[in-house]
Structure 1
Amino acid sequence: MPPATQRKRGEGQWALGYREPLNKNEETKKNDDGLNVRRRIIDIYSKAGFDSIDPADLRGRFRWLGLYTQRKPGIDGGKTGSLPDEELDDRYFMLRVRIDGGQLSGPQLRTIADIAVKYARGTADVTDRQNIQYHWIRVEDVPAIWEALEAVGLSTMEACGDTPRVIIGCPLAGIAEDEVLDASPQITEVYDRFIGSPEFSNLPRKFKTAFSGCTAHCTVHEINDVAFVGTVNEAGEAGYQVFVGGGLSTNPMFAQSLGVFVRPEEAADVWKGVISIFRDYGYRRLRHRARIKFLVADWGAARFRDVLEKEYLGRALPDGPEPAAPLPRRDHVGIGRQQDGNFYVGFAPRVGRLNGELLGQIADLAEEYGSGRVRTTAEQKMIILDVPGDRTEALADALGALDLQVRPSTFRRHAMACTGIEYCKLAIVETKQRAMDLVDELEKRLPDFDQPLTINVNGCPNACARIQVADIGLKGQLVVDENGDQVEGFQIHLGGQVGASFGKKVRGLKTTSADLTDYVERVVRRYDEQRAEGESFADWTRRADEADLK
């Protein structure tokens, strides 16, 4: 067996002197920085059209500016993974607008809405990382879209690609009465100093960040590459505990605490140290092992902290306490009091599905009832801020008239779905409409069920909708129905909890899309019948008979 150093060099780690690209993606990045494609989009591709786009830009560097080719309509899930990109690619793009911290002003929301109507056939979905995603974007329109976004301080810069992607934060930062601290200044500092910088535009893979002082832990820090979580030390100072190495996809891992205490003014430098370790020591040979979670799993938190302090910070960090436990519901749906005495009103679109016209109506309501400020959440939901107490119910009624519910059923409140086969080239099954239909039907069949219950629907194994940490996680795949035909369906994961456990797979537990609602109704009814007082769905699944889970 080769010595350890040689094995690590074989992973393509830059810090060990190995710079030669070991796969096509690394070669593309070495040939030209992804950030440079912006100029070509403006000067060449937007003028000469889709056919002028270099393939290395089209399926590689375009992602550095938030652009993915979308799935050509009419290609069924059985062909996902077997057709070449040239046959799967449509001539249109998904475009992701990064909304760091989930914070939007009135003019920003109106601009997003206007772009959806003018350039994206009305499409605009809110994601579980607080972004807005468009579809049907033509390359010819991209410069005009960028100009409109940048005029109000928004960007698609590094919204995709092997880059530091959107920084998620508590949508109530600086607003919630019970927050540990307001992380907004740290999000702004990291964005201003590092996003769009060539210093971190060639990472081994994507890099996901969370900064939050939220007591609910709404940024799900346990599944981010790096997360700064508000805590209070023995001296009563508010600062951050740092977690590294979380992520889901096909090999899920929870982040590990570094056991440190980071003061707010130090946080951006510590973030720089962590992402620098990933850039320099991250694995670059195999794409599926290139996330920081694999490095953290191999090193352990103690070694990671040691390298961070000695090689990148040049000083030791003090030890620090772990944050308090999360609240039972991590979202911010409903009506709550702000620090200034006004109120916020959080509401639930159906699995993040919005459109340009609806976003414009939300902007109208935010101006009429509040200050215009709106927030997106990491649960595909939205919040209107700064509402006087005597106007909250009127706003809730106005939102309800748009089917944006402030007091939704537990099914709507806790359901999420990825993009699915409608637009995504990786998907195997339809997700958005399937999830919306599921929620609608469960509301009819189980109108009195009110326990927290997350149902996450994913179109492929990559877990964009966090199936492994849902009470009921649905992973899209093709299954055989009772007639022996291959149809859309789901493998079922049960009893996942963020930071505690990944959902378990029961042998042979799959369902067709057509039978999905019947299955979910059945298992939820059994839980409701058998649960002890205060017992969560996840806890019940761990003790339930296997027959009751089927």
Structure 2
Amino acid sequence: MPSRMQRKRGEGQWALGYREPLNKNEESKKNDDGLNVRRRIIDIYAKGGFDSIDPADLRGRFRWYGLYTQRRPGIDGGKTAVLEPEELDDRYFMLRVRIDGGRLNLDQLRTIADVSSKYARGTADITDRQNIQLHWVEIENVPAIWEALESVGLHTTEACGDTPRVILGCPLAGIDADEVIDATPQLRDIHDRYIGNPDFSNLPRKFKTALSGCTAQCTIHEINDIAFVGVVNDEGEAGYDVWVGGGLSTNPMFAKRLGAFVRPEQAHEVWAGITGIFRDYGYRRLRHRARLKFLMNDWGPERFREVLEKEYLGYALADGPAPGGPRDQRRDHVGVHRQRDGRYYVGFAPKVGRINGDLLHVIADLAEEYGSGRVHTTTEQKMVILDVPEERTEALAAELEAHDLRVRPSTFRRQTMACTGIEYCKLAIVETKQRGMDLIEELERRLPDFDEPLTININGCPNSCARIQTADIGLKGQLVTDANGEQVEGFQVHLGGSIGGEFGKKIRGLKTTAEELPDYVERVLRNFRKGRNDGESFAAWVQRAEEGELK
């Protein structure tokens, strides 16, 4: 029987001396650091066009700068897992603009709007990780896009790939009347020290960070690879509780607490230590087991903390308290609310994060007229205009509503989100964005007085970019058989999930066609309202409801 050491070496862990690549992705990264592709894009590919791109760069290293080929139009979902990558590729790209902490000023917002209109056919989607994604980008225009973005302090470096991706932060950091700590200095410090740093540009898989002192806990620390959560220790010091190893996809796991109190000045060292553990001890043999959550699941938080302190920090961290729960069920910042300085912020909801270049210009103009020009994105595909005088909040809300940007949205508009879907994504099986927008309109029409908190998350494939397992109603796109025996777009249904609570449960045979989706959601919500106890949440009701009430 192989020893424990041999089994671990078989996972390709660098720290155990095993550096030979065990799959094509690892071989590609060993051959050339993904950060080096920038120069080739500028000097070769932008000049030679799409056909000049090396396949290893096209479907690998381009991600280190936020570039993915789009799905070629006209390929149905049944072909997603059948066709080779080159058959799925279009000659256009999705480009992800990295917005750490969701923070944008007027120049930045207007620059993204201009880039969208000039180079991306007006497209712009706000993601659930605070980025803005553009589509229809041609390789010839990428250097000009970078130049425009970088002139206002934005970039796409490590927006994708096996890298430390965008750092989530509360859009109200520094102004929220209730926040435990303003995490902005630590977020910027980690970004400036480590993003684009070759020390961390070859991780086993993607690596997601959250850092916030928000009492709404809007950065969803429970499902990030590493998260710093604002807490106050017994001595009255504000700092962070550290969570490690969260992630969803096809094998969801919640992060685990290390039980350590991290002072603000220690945050960058702790981040680098945990990221270093992932780089050195992370599993590199199988891509589907390469996320940090698998290492944490095998080690446990006690061993993980011990390795962090002894091998990476060189000092012991103090023990610290756990954070309390979020201040309410809706972990977002929609609506009109007071800031700590007496001014107000106005959070508004586009439908499932979909906007466009012209609308971004409108939002920038309104932020300039009514606020200080600061506009921040959220982890729920929403936006917030900051620093609005109280007497001007209603006028701003009316202006936003006139552009279908709802400040006081229905539950369905406020809490439905959708991933990119088959329109652009090569992994998707079904359409999501338009489906989500249509679902919102139908539910608002059919259930106009439904106002309980309820999340509906729509995903085009099993990878859970839209967090289906943590939604009240999570919809995983797949082909299903309709009443006529034909294969059509549809969804497997997950019910009763919540972030930090339980993952949604799957009921045997519970699927719906896309066409029947509004009927299904209406039916289950009417059953909920009929059968719930006073004050009972949807997730709690699901756990005790009869199967027939859930179908």
TM-score class, shorter-chain normalisation, is over 0.9
Q: Deviations over 1:253-287 (max 9, x none)?
A: 00000001000111010000000000000000000
SS in 1 for 2:259: coil
Equivalent in the alignment of 1:437: 438
Question: Structure 1 residue 491 and structure 2 residue 492: aligned?
Answer: yes
Equivalent in the alignment of 1:504: 505
Cα distance between partner residues in 2 of 1:56 and 1:403: 42
Given residue 476 of structure 1, which amino acid in structure 2 is its aligned partner? G
Per the TM alignment, residue 81 of structure 1 is displaced from its structure 2 partner at its CA by 1.1
Given residue 172 of structure 1, which amino acid in structure 2 is its aligned partner? L
Q: Within 5 A, what are the aligned runs for 1:515-526?
A: 515-526=516-527
- Identical positions, percent: 76
Q: Deviations over 1:488-545 (max 9, x none)?
A: 0000000001011000000100000010000000000111111111110000000101
Question: Structure 1 residue 107 and structure 2 residue 87: aligned?
Answer: no
Per the TM alignment, residue 306 of structure 1 is displaced from its structure 2 partner at its CA by 0.4
Q: Within 5 A, what are the aligned runs for 1:509-548?
A: 509-548=510-549
Equivalent in the alignment of 1:60: 60
Equivalent in the alignment of 2:375: 374
Cα distance between partner residues in 1 of 2:18 and 2:442: 55
Equivalent in the alignment of 1:218: 218
Cα distance between partner residues in 2 of 1:525 and 1:128: 28
Per the TM alignment, residue 28 of structure 1 is displaced from its structure 2 partner at its CA by 0.2
Q: Deviations over 1:316-367 (max 9, x none)?
A: 1000000011122100000111111110000000000010000010000000
Given residue 291 of structure 1, which amino acid in structure 2 is its aligned partner? R
Cα distance between partner residues in 2 of 1:86 and 1:304: 40
Equivalent in the alignment of 1:353: 354
Equivalent in the alignment of 2:244: 244
Q: What runs of 5+ residues in structure 1 fail to find an aligned partner?
A: none
Cα distance between partner residues in 2 of 1:220 and 1:276: 23
Per the TM alignment, residue 140 of structure 1 is displaced from its structure 2 partner at its CA by 0.1
SS in 2 for 1:47: helix
Cα distance between partner residues in 2 of 1:94 and 1:45: 16
Cα distance between partner residues in 2 of 1:175 and 1:89: 44
Question: Structure 1 residue 272 and structure 2 residue 272: aligned?
Answer: yes
Equivalent in the alignment of 2:308: 308
Cα distance between partner residues in 1 of 2:124 and 2:239: 35
Equivalent in the alignment of 2:393: 392
Equivalent in the alignment of 1:190: 190
Per the TM alignment, residue 461 of structure 1 is displaced from its structure 2 partner at its CA by 0.1
Cα distance between partner residues in 2 of 1:329 and 1:64: 33
Question: Structure 1 residue 21 and structure 2 residue 21: aligned?
Answer: yes
Equivalent in the alignment of 1:470: 471
Equivalent in the alignment of 1:76: 76
Cα distance between partner residues in 2 of 1:410 and 1:329: 10
Given residue 441 of structure 2, which amino acid in structure 1 is its aligned partner? D
Equivalent in the alignment of 2:11: 11
Given residue 459 of structure 2, which amino acid in structure 1 is its aligned partner? N
SS in 1 for 2:525: helix
Equivalent in the alignment of 1:262: 262
Per the TM alignment, residue 160 of structure 1 is displaced from its structure 2 partner at its CA by 0.2
Q: Deviations over 1:165-202 (max 9, x none)?
A: 00000000001000000001011000100000100000
Cα distance between partner residues in 1 of 2:100 and 2:492: 33
Cα distance between partner residues in 2 of 1:235 and 1:187: 24
Given residue 294 of structure 2, which amino acid in structure 1 is its aligned partner? F
Runs (4 or more) in structure 1 with deviation over 3 Å come to: none
Q: What runs of 5+ residues in structure 2 fail to find an aligned partner?
A: none
Given residue 513 of structure 2, which amino acid in structure 1 is its aligned partner? T
Q: Deviations over 1:8-48 (max 9, x none)?
A: 00000000000000000000000000000000000000000
Question: Structure 1 residue 320 and structure 2 residue 287: aligned?
Answer: no
Cα distance between partner residues in 2 of 1:136 and 1:429: 20
Per the TM alignment, residue 246 of structure 1 is displaced from its structure 2 partner at its CA by 0.1
Given residue 538 of structure 1, which amino acid in structure 2 is its aligned partner? A
Q: TM-score of the superposition, structure 2-length normalised? A: 1.00
Aligned pair count reads: 550
Equivalent in the alignment of 2:140: 140
Equivalent in the alignment of 1:331: 332
SS in 2 for 1:397: helix
Cα distance between partner residues in 1 of 2:199 and 2:138: 30
SS in 2 for 1:499: coil
Q: TM-score of the superposition, structure 1-length normalised? A: 1.00
Equivalent in the alignment of 1:50: 50
Per the TM alignment, residue 312 of structure 1 is displaced from its structure 2 partner at its CA by 0.3
SS in 1 for 2:20: coil
Per the TM alignment, residue 377 of structure 1 is displaced from its structure 2 partner at its CA by 0.1
Given residue 493 of structure 2, which amino acid in structure 1 is its aligned partner? I
Cα distance between partner residues in 2 of 1:324 and 1:514: 41
Equivalent in the alignment of 2:459: 458
Equivalent in the alignment of 1:166: 166
Moved more, 68-77 or 326-335: 326-335
